[in-house]
């Protein structure tokens, strides 16, 4: 698992999920905001900015954690906050927290090949993005506008903006289902989940999250469970949401701290959760079989924004054979 560690080492830390050992990479990446893995090329990409207006994406070799190159994002006022890797092409999409700009990066050439305008929101309002498994659509949250934009990856342009019309406020997190039929949106302002049908781009019935203000959102590999972790009464809480028929909360557990991000392991047995630096530095995991939280007190993480933690190097080969892994999950009676 790879995590930006901003206020301690300004680098990227590794957590090995077999023994929960933490190691630094010694990469000099100040203000890192997001990590995306390219399993096929054995690379990972870290977005960061060195000062206001200078945004970069660093390409890192996953085999030795060495910097391959830095890709400068053009323009002023650029602070990258979210990224998504095209599932079938060597393309990376990046959006900025300032300037209402998005960028298209050719990862083979290591350069920005296009840019696009986003729905205007005030500077500093974070965004989240997700791409459908067929790579045809990118969905982008517009936090203060209470909407989600649909981006056509063939034409590199926004083709539709889905307005919530009172059904959700401050959309902050978004994830696509593995089959690409649904997109799920978590709203911090209204503490609820919205579902978007990707064929029609229409909003379906929502689910209230009680007093849980969502901070991170992931889906399991089979598309049957959605996990929402958030802040509830100054503490953290994880919800397991079933999506087979209608949305319903199946299980929940207290994690004891305010979360910033989480990731599910490729074997679907654990959810690793890390906290934000401005709420204290914490990390731990939830065993998904018995739904219990286990603290990792030796890990000290410093995060900003909705930073994303991703898969460890030891799991890259598993990720490359996705079809085989899905078959193994389907036959696992414990899931």
At 323-333, the pLDDT tens digits run: 444 444 455 54
d(CA 28, CA 211): 38
What residue segments make up the domains of the chain, in order of their start?
Answer: 31-117
Tell me the three state secondary structure of residue 182: strand
pLDDT in tens, the chain (335 residues): 566 655 555 667 677 777 777 777 778 777 788 888 888 888 999 998 887 668 999 999 988 889 999 999 998 778 898 999 999 999 999 999 888 899 999 999 999 999 999 998 887 677 899 999 999 999 999 998 999 999 999 999 999 999 999 999 999 999 999 999 999 999 999 999 999 999 999 999 899 999 899 999 999 999 999 999 998 877 889 999 999 888 999 999 998 888 888 889 888 999 988 876 554 557 889 999 999 999 887 666 555 444 554 444 443 333 333 344 444 445 554 44
Which two three-digit tokens encode residue 57? 């994406």
Residue located via tokens 């995590």: 3
Question: Do 255 and 240 touch, CB atoms closer than 8 A?
Answer: no
Question: Do 326 and 335 touch, CB atoms closer than 8 A?
Answer: no
Compute CA distances 18 → 87, 269, 312, whole Å. Answer: 27, 12, 10
pLDDT of residue 316: 35
At 187-236, the pLDDT tens digits run: 999 999 999 999 999 999 899 999 899 999 999 999 999 999 998 877 88
State which H helix or E strand residue 11 sits in: strand 11-16
Classify each residue of 141-162 as buried b or exposed e, where b means 16 or more C-beta atoms within 10 Å of its C-beta. Answer: bbbebbbbbbbebeebebeeeb
Question: Do 220 and 286 touch, CB atoms closer than 8 A?
Answer: no
Compute CA distances 138 → 135, 159, 161, 292, whole Å. Answer: 8, 10, 12, 34
pLDDT of residue 114: 97
Q: Which residues on adjacent β-strands are paired with residue 254?
A: 237
Q: How far apart are the first and last CA of the chain?
A: 22
CB proximity list for 299: less than 8 A, separation 6 or greater: 13, 15, 20, 22, 274, 283
> Which of 119, 75, 74, 125 has its CA nearest to residue 97?
125
Q: Report whether CATH 2.40.10.480 matches the domain 31-117.
A: yes
Q: What does the H/E/C string look like for 131-157? A: ECCCCCEEEEEEHHHCEEEEEECCCCE
Is 211 buried (19+), middle (13-18) or exposed (0-12) by CB count in 10 A? exposed
pLDDT of residue 19: 75
């Amino acid at each position: 698992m790879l995590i930006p560690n901003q206020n301690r080492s300004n680098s990227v830390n590794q957590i090995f999920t077999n023994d929960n050992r933490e190691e630094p990479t010694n990469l000099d990446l100040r203000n890192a905001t997001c990590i995306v893995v390219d399993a096929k090329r054995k690379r990972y990409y870290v977005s960061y900015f060195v000062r206001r207006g200078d945004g970069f994406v660093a390409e890192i070799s996953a085999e030795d954690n060495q910097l391959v190159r830095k890709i400068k994002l053009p323009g002023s006022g650029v602070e990258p906050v979210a990224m998504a890797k095209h599932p079938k092409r060597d393309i990376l999409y990046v959006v900025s927290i300032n300037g209402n700009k998005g960028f298209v990066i050719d990862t083979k050439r290591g350069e920005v090949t296009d840019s696009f305008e986003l729905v205007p929101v005030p500077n500093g309002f974070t965004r989240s993005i997700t791409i459908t498994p067929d790579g045809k659509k990118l969905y982008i949250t517009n936090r203060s506008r209470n909407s989600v934009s649909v981006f056509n990856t063939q034409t590199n342009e926004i083709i539709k903006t889905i307005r919530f019309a009172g059904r959700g406020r401050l959309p902050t997190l978004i994830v696509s289902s593995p089959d690409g039929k649904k997109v799920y949106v978590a709203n911090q302002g209204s503490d609820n989940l919205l579902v978007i049908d990707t064929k029609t781009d229409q909003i379906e019935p929502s689910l209230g999250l009680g007093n849980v203000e969502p901070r991170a959102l992931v889906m399991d590999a089979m598309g049957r469970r959605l996990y929402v972790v958030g802040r509830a009464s100054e503490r953290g809480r994880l919800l397991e949401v079933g999506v087979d028929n209608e949305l319903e909360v199946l299980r929940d557990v207290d994690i004891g701290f305010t979360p910033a991000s989480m990731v599910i392991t490729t074997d679907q047995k654990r959810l690793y959760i890390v906290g934000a630096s401005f709420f204290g530095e914490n990390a731990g995991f939830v065993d998904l079989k018995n739904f219990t939280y286990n603290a990792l007190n030796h890990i000290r993480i410093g995060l900003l924004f909705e930073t994303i933690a991703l898969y460890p190097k030891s799991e890259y080969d598993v990720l490359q054979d996705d079809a085989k892994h899905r078959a193994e999950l389907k036959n696992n009676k414990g899931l």
